[in-house]
């Protein structure tokens, strides 16, 4: 996509927001969505923080900060709609190769937001189980600690699920699953002929979920690829790519994605 095309859409979205048309459009979208056809599990690639910062002539740190604020808003929209499972792709294992200054800023921001999440009474009122999925051991110790605290304090909940994909890589997840299965064979817990889809799913990061496979995967920023996100789980997920940088993602963008999802016919290969 040409950057000029993307830029024109950004300008149009801001014009709509400026004059309050988004509220009218939001109400229209809500009326078009069927509650009994909502996705049970939605996964989102939060992409475009750095490009949003560049486009708006501000520092990268500001872009990440705005993106983190938007993720907080998203959780409220998800709750209002009644979607049970949310998986957010926050940081890939490839992202860990970025500049140290940028990474340290991201780690500090995540630490702040996760501490805030821990004290948010809505998490407990909503009975939301929180879990980090990824190679968490690669993260700074203080970040590992708060993630573990969140997991421990919400492990008994099962009304809603929030999965934070951090230091995550889809190929690494599959390698980890294969190693677990190999260990099960070596210890004679299973035989080779016992390996099936359920065996693999039980060894994935998402094994704690009542529905590991997302119904809908959404990516912002105009990029049209999954970048290794939930490689196994996404086999029959509906994919939607949106021309909006993550910090400018709005409730109407989420509603539009859900409307598009509901208009599709899911055959699951049949």
Q: Which of 40, 56, 95, 105 is catalytic?
A: 95
Q: Is 47 a catalytic residue?
A: yes
Report the C-alpha gap between 106 and 108 in whole angstroms: 5
Around 156, how many Cα atoms within 13 Å sit in the side-chain half-sphere?
3
How many other β-carbons are positioned within 10 Å of the β-carbon of residue 91?
22
Strands of the 85-92 sheet, one edge to the other = 128-133, 160-168, 85-92, 41-45, 216-219, 238-241
CA atoms within 13 A on the CB side of 33: 21
The answer to whether the beta carbons of residues 213 and 234 sit under 8 Å apart is yes
Q: Of 228, 215, 172, nearest to 47 (Cα)?
A: 228
Query: Is residue 56 among the annotated active site residues?
Result: no
User: What is each CA distance from 197 to 45, 55, 193, 201, 205, in whole angstroms?
Assistant: 25, 44, 12, 6, 14
Active-site residue, selected from the candidate residues 47, 215, 243, 253 = 47
Contact 237, 215 (CB under 8 A): yes
Active-site residue set: 47, 95
């Amino acid at each position: 996509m040409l950057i000029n095309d993307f830029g024109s859409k950004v300008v149009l979205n801001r014009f709509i927001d400026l004059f309050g048309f988004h509220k009218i459009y939001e109400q229209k979208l809500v009326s078009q969505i069927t509650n009994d056809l909502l996705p049970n599990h939605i996964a989102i690639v939060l992409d475009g923080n750095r490009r949003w910062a560049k486009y708006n002539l501000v520092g990268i740190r500001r872009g990440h900060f705005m993106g983190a604020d938007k993720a907080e808003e998203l959780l409220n929209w998800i709750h209002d709609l009644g979607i049970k499972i949310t998986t957010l792709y926050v940081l890939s294992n490839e992202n860990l190769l970025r500049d140290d200054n940028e990474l340290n800023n991201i780690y500090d921001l995540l630490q702040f937001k996760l501490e805030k999440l821990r004290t948010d009474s809505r998490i407990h009122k909503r009975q939301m189980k929180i879990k980090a999925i990824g190679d968490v051991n690669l993260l700074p110790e203080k970040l590992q600690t708060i993630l573990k605290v969140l997991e421990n304090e919400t492990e008994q909940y099962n009304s809603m699920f929030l999965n934070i994909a951090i230091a995550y890589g889809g190929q690494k997840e599959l390698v980890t699953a294969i190693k677990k299965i190999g260990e099960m064979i070596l210890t004679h817990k299973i035989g080779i002929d016992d390996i099936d889809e359920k065996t693999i799913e039980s060894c994935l990061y998402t094994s704690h979920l009542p529905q590991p496979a997302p119904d809908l995967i959404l990516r912002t920023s105009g990029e049209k690829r999954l970048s290794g996100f939930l490689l196994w789980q996404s086999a029959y997920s509906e994919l939607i790519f949106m021309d909006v940088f993550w910090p400018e993602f709005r409730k109407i963008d989420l509603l539009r994605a859900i409307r598009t999802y509901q208009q599709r016919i899911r055959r699951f290969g049949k």
